[in-house]
Amino acid sequence: MAKLFTPIDFKGVTIKNRIVMSPMCMYSSIAEDGKITPFHLTHYTTRAVGQVGLVMTEATAVQKEGRISPQDLGIWSDDHISGLRQLNEQIHNNNAKSGIQLAHAGRKARLESMIYAPSAFPFDENSKKPQEMSINDINETIDAFKNAAVRSKESGFDIIEIHAAHGYLINEFLSPLSNQRKDEYGGSAENRYRFLHDIIEAVKNVWNGPLFVRISTNEYHEEGNTLEDILYFAEKMKEQDVDLIDCSSGGVVPASISVYPGYQVKRCETIRQETSIATGAVGLITTGIQAEEILQNNRADLVFLGRSLLKNPYWTKAAADELGYTIKAPTQYERGWK
Ligand code: FNR
């Protein structure tokens, strides 16, 4: 039996297969309100109909000033709940599980308003200079993640993923490239981890469901986090009962990245082996055979697919055909999927 099509359980939430729709910003909210639109409903539901096991939303802003763009999806207000609830109903009606990626853009926010970061350095010469966060700003942001978790629960999500990758706010705290603070949130790996630590604890106070964290496992810079730092963070997340580390890379500072099939899988495998925490592999995973190899060789527990699922919402069916495996078709498609 193909491992790609075996179920997996996280804290009582059973995902029917190992295929996850990777979070992907659609910049499709209108009027800067962060709300779900008909496009989002169609877009995510189509992947659920296509038999993806876990449909993860795009980066969803926990604070208005934490959006990447004015069109980002948001969860900073109770007004967002009804749209997100409708989205969850549609995903669940099509037998998929739903996840929400909670995010704050930090210094990578492309907004007119003030933007925030651990230290007052812009991402690059074309970027706006952020304001260094005070302890009060830090506490408010930790609270915003907690409030977003409460709203995620009220909206019916099965899984929460914290976005701590790609050079956005949490990653900016984790990385020595962007964190030059002199207080307890900067300096040593332990101090740089403190912001993520506090967010995880705050979320856990209000959320007892599965919790994933996406990190950048490689910063492609000699002064960035080392593999040792990354393994330290992974150990800490395991201690905090995080269910899975979603292993991405890059984005903290401009860097050239060598991209090839499965380019992020190696570190994903190392984290899984060294810390025994479940991992998700992502990045140029395009075929069923490639996904199956990653799972069978215990290099990851889940595979996240981004662009492959944008190109083909029925990638799951194509992968099953490739692996000679029969999956149950959505009732409406039974005659066509034979
Ligand atoms: C992304 N990616 C991304 N990652 C993330 O953590 N949150 C996000 O909101 C987004 N947004 C986003 C939008 C679009 C259009 C793309 C193509 C990508 C990264 C994505 O989740 C994934 O990690 C990468 O695309 C690599 O996987 P693939 O596309 O090679 O399968």
CA distance 326 to 317: 8
**Using CA atoms, how far apart are residues 170 and 175, in angstroms rounded to an integer?**
9
Taking 90 as the threshold, does the pLDDT of residue 1 lie above it? no
Residue 9 pLDDT greater than 90, yes or no: yes
Predicted confidence at residue 213, as pLDDT, reads: 99
Q: What backbone phi and psi angles, to 5 degrees, belong to 294?
A: -60, -45
Nearest CA to ligand 1 atom 19: 24
Determine the residue type at 133.
M
Q: How confident is the model at residue 236 (pLDDT cuts 50, 70, 90)?
A: very high
Instruction: Tell how far the Cα of 134 is from the centroid of ligand 1, in angstroms.
Output: 30
- Work out the number of other CB atoms within 10 angstroms of the CB of residue 267: 23
Quote the DSSP letter at residue 323: T
pLDDT of residue 26: 98
Instruction: State yes or no: 306 annotated in a binding site.
Output: yes
Mean predicted confidence (pLDDT) in 35-49: 98
Share of the chain above pLDDT 90, in %: 99
Q: pLDDT band for 7, please (50, 70, 90 cuts).
A: very high
Ligand 1 lined by 307 (C-beta under 6 Å)? yes
Q: Contact, 252 vs 175, CB < 8 A?
A: yes
CB 186 within 8 A of CB 201: no
CB-based contacts of 334, cutoff 8 Å, min separation 6: none
Question: What does 16-66 look like in DSSP terms, one character per residue?
Answer: SSSEEE--------STT-----HHHHHHHHHHHHTT-SEEEEEEEESSGGG
| CA gap 332, 335 in Å, rounded | 8
Residue extents of the structural domains in the chain: 3-337
Q: Is 268 in the pocket of ligand 1 (CB under 6 A)?
A: no
pTM of the model: 0.98
Residues 272-282 pLDDT 10s? 999 999 999 99
Convert the pLDDT of each residue in 153-199 to its tens digit. 999 999 999 999 999 999 999 999 999 999 999 999 999 999 999 99
Taking only the tens place, the pLDDT of each residue in 138-158 is 999 999 999 999 999 999 999
* Cα 160 to Cα 152: distance, rounded to the nearest angstrom: 8
Give the three-state DSSP class for 288: helix
Q: Distance, CA 306 to ligand 1 centroid (Å)?
A: 5
- C-alpha to C-alpha distance for 261 and 307, rounded to whole angstroms: 13
Q: Which two tokens stand for residue 269?
A: 């495998």
Residue 174 one-letter amino acid: L
Q: What is the distance in A from the centroid of ligand 1 to the CA of 283?
A: 8
- 338 has a pLDDT exceeding 90: no
59 lines ligand 1 (CB under 6 A): yes
CB 306 less than 6 A from any atom of ligand 1: yes
**Nearest Cα residue to 170 out of 233, 238, 113:** 233
Instruction: Specify the pLDDT at position 46.
Output: 98
- Tracing tokens 């479940």 back to the chain, one arrives at 278
Q: Report which of 8, 18, 13 is spatially closest to residue 294, judged by C-alpha positions.
A: 18
Task: Encode pLDDT of 71-127 as tens digits.
Answer: 999 999 999 999 999 999 999 999 999 999 999 999 999 999 999 999 999 999 999
Instruction: Output the average pLDDT for the chain.
Output: 97
For residue 268, pLDDT beyond 90: yes
Handedness of CA 63, 67, 70, 72 (dihedral sign): negative
3-337: CATH topology is TIM Barrel (3.20.20)
Cα 224 from chain centroid (whole Å): 21
Contact by Cβ (8 Å): 252, 224: yes
What pLDDT score was predicted for residue 63?
Answer: 97
Q: What does the pLDDT read at residue 31?
A: 86
For 44, the enclosing helix (H) or strand (E) is: helix 38-49
